[in-house]
Structure 1
């Protein structure tokens, strides 16, 4: 779980701020696209890790499907 937070704070937030700055300036160049792709990949990894964390948490609490 700390890895999820680190990705969010040190990768996703700065990337979003950088992309906002570039988009406001109308600079949709190669750097913009590269950072956008990195942000999408890291976001997908974070989503997958959160899903796995939720799944494992349900296993630990003993909750069954449909309960």
Structure 2
């Protein structure tokens, strides 16, 4: 979780602040696309880390799908 939070605070939020004036002015230059690629990688990393976190949480709580014919 600390990596997910720091990824958002150190990469995603500054990228957002960088994109707002550039997009408003219509300046889609090389720098814009490089920062966008970095942001997409950081966002994908966050999604993967959140998925792994969810998987581990399900294992800890013994998350099970109901099996056919088993009454609880």
| TM-score in terms of structure 1 length | 0.93
**Runs of 4 or more off by more than 4 Å in structure 1?**
none
Q: Deviations over 1:25-60 (max 9, x none)?
A: 111000000000000011000000000000000000
Instruction: Answer 1 or 2: which has greater helix percent.
Output: 1
Which SS does the other structure have where 2:46 is aligned?
Answer: helix
CA-based RMSD: 1.4
Q: CA deviation at 1:65?
A: 3.0
| TM-score in terms of structure 2 length | 0.87
Q: For residues 65 and 26 of structure 1, what CA distance do their matches in structure 2 show?
A: 50
Aligned residues: 67
Q: Which runs of 5+ in 2 are unaligned?
A: 67-72
1:61 paired residue number: 61
1:1-67 equivalent positions in 2, closer than 5 A: 1-66=1-66
Q: Which runs of 5+ in 1 are unaligned?
A: none
Which structure would you say has the larger Rg?
Answer: 2
